[in-house]
Amino acid sequence: MQPDFVIVGSGLTGATLARELADAGQRVEVVERRPCIGGNVADTVHACGLRMNLYGPHYFRTSCDDLWRFVNRFAWFAPYEAVVKSRVQGGIENWPIAASFIRRTIGETWTPEFVGRPRNFEQAALSLMPRAIYEHFVKGYTQKQWGVAPRLLSADLCRRFDVRTDDDPRLTPTKKHQGMPVGGYTKLVERMLQDIPVERDVDYLQDRDAFAPAKMLLFTGPIDAFFNHCFGRLKYRGQRRRTWYAPDCRLKQPCGQVNEPDLRVPIIRTIEWKHMVLPDTAQAVPGTLLTTEEPYTPDHDDALEYPFPDAQNAELYRRYRALAEDDSRVLICGRLGEYRYYDMDQAIARARILARKILETRPWQQRKAQLVAAADGKSFHNPVLTGGAPVPSRA
């Protein structure tokens, strides 16, 4: 039977869309390029018995009671409030930056380096702290993460951190609900997709004609790939990861994540997964499991993780978004589809809003007006109905 909706991608956005639409009585089919579901929140159990995420740590946190109830339909969350440290001047310091560290190194009286309206990331960071603190904590980390000088990045990127006047070591102390799903994120997504057909290890972009929804296509992959990179590729950063088991050490780090802002150190952070599991599980494993991450610029779509925060790529995205808005029967959304980084709670909340809006506005019915216009001699191209994506010129 023909599905009402075909959803490309089984990450948090795709799985949430699928669940909301199926719960509303719609026929849904999910297409996933990878052999496993879950997108970049996918996880696995290492041979030592510790669970690890395949694409970096994912700390779930939200202050929305309704969203918390929603995710708890599919998993029980063990309490976990992430703590992150940074290796600075041979010591381990809080991240975000503790005001006490600034007082110890700069003095009791200090002022930010930059005053005015920041035009780039470096100015935005310096508007929060003295230059010496920026050099220790922020500059090297940011340059390694993005591969360019921080002054070339958007000032908006700075919104993801602050200076803690109360020295609270928790990454997100104001979030009401925080935890890690017992059984992992892959199991959570499996439960979200229960009774929904999922085609795994299938690249929709290689065989678009095989999937023809009666109502809409919801695409959560890279927006530029959907349009065959007709304007050029959007830039991303990814991480090369190395995981190893240390059998003779119960714990190596004081917390689950330690950042490495020193430019002389190629990795950007080390994750110790034992901090993130239930105490009984941790006690049963004599050693510990660690993953290091080293940033790089990926050259294939399966390794895209962080949309690049600069003006050039923002403008390129706007050109693709204009194409995407031309077709009422196609919705391109999610982190890759909207070319912006979403925390997990943001991705799920946005997908739920999109699903409700789809059901309320029924955008697929707008095709009737387009069909009438076509019958009057006006041409149109729908990649869902005719197969393939429109390929405008690069002009």
**pLDDT tens per residue across span 115-173:** 999 999 999 999 999 999 999 999 999 999 999 999 999 999 998 888 888 889 999 99
Catalytic member of 33, 269, 352, 367: 269
How much is the mean pLDDT over the chain?
91
- Is 269 in the active site? yes
State how far the Cα of 256 lies from the Cα of 78, in Å rounded to an integer: 15
**pLDDT tens per residue across span 69-108:** 999 999 999 999 999 999 998 899 999 999 889 988 888 8
Closest by alpha carbon to 340, among 150, 160, 70, 142? 160
pLDDT for residue 160: 80
Quick one: tokens of 84? 């992150």
- Is 293 in the active site? yes
pLDDT for residue 238: 97
**pLDDT tens per residue across span 190-227:** 999 999 999 999 999 999 999 999 999 999 999 999 99
Query: How large is the C-alpha radius of gyration of the chain?
Result: 23
pLDDT for residue 392: 39
State how far the Cα of 126 lies from the Cα of 113, in Å rounded to an integer: 5
- Is 305 in the active site? no
pLDDT for residue 1: 83
Quick one: tokens of 9? 């991608």
Distance between start and end Cα atoms, the chain: 41
pLDDT for residue 163: 87
Would you give the distance in Å from CA 212 to the centre of its chain? 28
- Is 108 in the active site? no
101 CB burial (10 A radius; 0-12, 13-18, 19+): buried
Do 213 and 30 touch, CB atoms closer than 8 A?
A: no
| Per-residue pLDDT at 380 exceeds 70 | no
- Is 195 in the active site? no
Calculate mean pLDDT across residues 309-334.
Answer: 95
Quick one: tokens of 161? 């951190």
Catalytic member of 51, 237, 352, 367: 237
HEC secondary structure over the chain: CCCCEEEECCCHHHHHHHHHHHHCCCCEEEECCCCCCCHHHCEEECCCCCEEECCCCCCEEECCHHHHHHHCCCCCEEECCCEEEEEECCEEEEECEEHHHHHHHCCCCCCCCCCCCCCCHHHHHHCCCCHHHHHHHHHHHHHHHHCCCHHHCCHHHHHHCCEECCCCCECCCCCCEEEEECCHHHHHHHHHCCCCCEECCCCHHHCHHHCCCCCEEEECCCHHHHCCCCCCCCCEEEEEEEEEEECCCCCCCCCCEEECCCCCCCCCEEEEHHHHCCHHHHHHCCCEEEEEEEEECCCCHHHCCEECCCHHHHHHHHHHHHHHCCCCCEEECHHHHCCCCCCHHHHHHHHHHHHHHHHHHCHHHHHHHHHHHHHCCCCCCCHHHHCCCCCCCCC
- Is 343 in the active site? yes
Scored b (16 or more CB within 10 A) or e, 124-144 reads bbbbbbbeebbebbbbbbbbb
Catalytic member of 117, 160, 264, 394: 160
| Per-residue pLDDT at 376 exceeds 90 | no
Scored b (16 or more CB within 10 A) or e, 40-59 reads bbbbeebebebbbbbbbbbb
| Per-residue pLDDT at 292 exceeds 90 | yes
Catalytic member of 260, 293, 338, 345: 293
Q: pLDDT confidence of 367, banded at 50, 70, 90?
A: low
pLDDT for residue 192: 98
| Per-residue pLDDT at 389 exceeds 60 | no
- Is 306 in the active site? no
Catalytic member of 164, 208, 329, 350: 164
Question: In the chain, what are the domains?
Answer: 5-37+193-235+307-386 (3.40.50.720), 84-164 (no CATH)
Q: pLDDT confidence of 373, banded at 50, 70, 90?
A: very low
pTM over 0.85: yes
